[in-house]
Amino acid sequence: MLWLLTHDTYALLGRGRVTHEVSSLYAHWYDGLAHGAFPAGDHLWQYPPGAGAVLLAPGLLPSLTYLQAFVVLTLLTDAVITLALARAGTRPGRSLRGAALWTAGLPLLLHLPLARYDVEVTAFAVLALLVWPRSPRAYGVFAALGALVKVWPALTLIGAPRGRTTREAWTAAVLAAAALLALFAALFRDPFDFLRQQGGRGVQIESLGGTVLMFARHAGWPGHARYQYGAEEFVGPHVQTVATCSLALTGAAFALLLLWRLRARHWTPATPYDAALAAVLLFTVTSRVISPQYMVWLIGLTAVCLTSQHTTQRAVAPLVLTASAVSAVVYPAFYGQVVHCTWPGCVLMLVRNGLLASAAVLSVVRLWRAGLR
């Protein structure tokens, strides 16, 4: 992965597009954050205030360039995740398959994980899930920290066992989030400006809705892709309808998860892991945006599931890994084909999103059946 990162000017590696986001965009945001201000009015800044802390972290290594320091910290975070999975896998009734899947699965995304901060976000989710049997409060705190960086780690709490564990974990999460938000509000200007930028997001070409619109172009739909809000999104007739449908599906997914939690009667040591993976898969496939780095989340959560011999998600793992490999073909190698909606680009997106949708359905079905058993 490091070798690919140092040779990313090759055509199949994106001609520098992968590292450009860190060396240009992240570094630009760092300058403002270092002076105590979030990037107000910047439509590319769509992240909770905790992301600012992650982007400031490379400043701890002043002898390196911003990109070099960012990669070093990402590698250290990767090592923390690997060690946590390995330690969990050596306990009685556990397995090292999780550590093996993380180690072998992350390179399927080529050098992309080293040039995005999703490894850091995934670390909070992984640590939250692995620590819950020993400390429900730490479970909640890690989930809250992750949610303040990129929201989705809050979903790791959906499978907390009922009773004392849920009360302690959810209370700790709320208190930690409130305290940290107050701290950001006191130390930085405009920490909540990101909320204004989310509403304008459209349908990214790599989303499930985007795949529908890609094939619609071959059927005569007049829309096209345009770079906006930091991604290639479709513009044209009926795009807003597709975006609304995606939001409705996300709402339905949340309702389904709540229904599962209300009806589930059987909890195993792996249920919080399995529920977290199912929840993030559902929210990924129903989202208006599916960036390739989202696969880092799914690889991390799948690895956590495989640390337990009680997991119901073993059959989901091959689908996640295959979807990750196809994602690396889509971006950066053949991203131009996807942007221009050529037939190869359409087929690649159909395969990748078909694998993700299949993984989501299989994950939820197996979780649901295990909970009612």
Structural domain of 118: 2-372
Which residues, at least 6 apart from 322, have a Cβ–Cβ distance to it below 8 Å? 355
Interatomic CA distance for residues 210 and 206, integer angstroms: 6
Using one digit for the tens of pLDDT, what is the confidence trace for 264-295? 888 999 999 999 999 999 999 999 999 999 99
The pLDDT of residue 325: 96
Q: Is 116 left (phi over 0), alpha (psi -120 to 50) or beta?
A: beta
The β-bridge partners of 204 are 233
pTM of the entire predicted model: 0.95
Sheet holding 224-228, edge to edge: 203-204, 231-235, 224-228
In the chain, which residues have pLDDT < 50? none
The pLDDT of residue 200: 63
The β-bridge partners of 227 are 232
The pLDDT of residue 194: 83
Q: Are strands 224-228 and 231-235 parallel, antiparallel or unpaired?
A: antiparallel
| Contact (Cβ atoms closer than 8 angstroms) between residue 284 and residue 290 | yes
Count: domains in the chain? 1
The pLDDT of residue 92: 87
Interatomic CA distance for residues 317 and 315, integer angstroms: 6
- Exposure of 139 by Cβ count < 10 A (0-12 exposed, 13-18 middle, 19+ buried)? buried
- Exposure of 196 by Cβ count < 10 A (0-12 exposed, 13-18 middle, 19+ buried)? middle
Token digits for 73? 């910290």
Which residues, at least 6 apart from 323, have a Cβ–Cβ distance to it below 8 Å? 295, 298, 352, 355, 356, 359
The pLDDT of residue 198: 61
The pLDDT of residue 288: 92
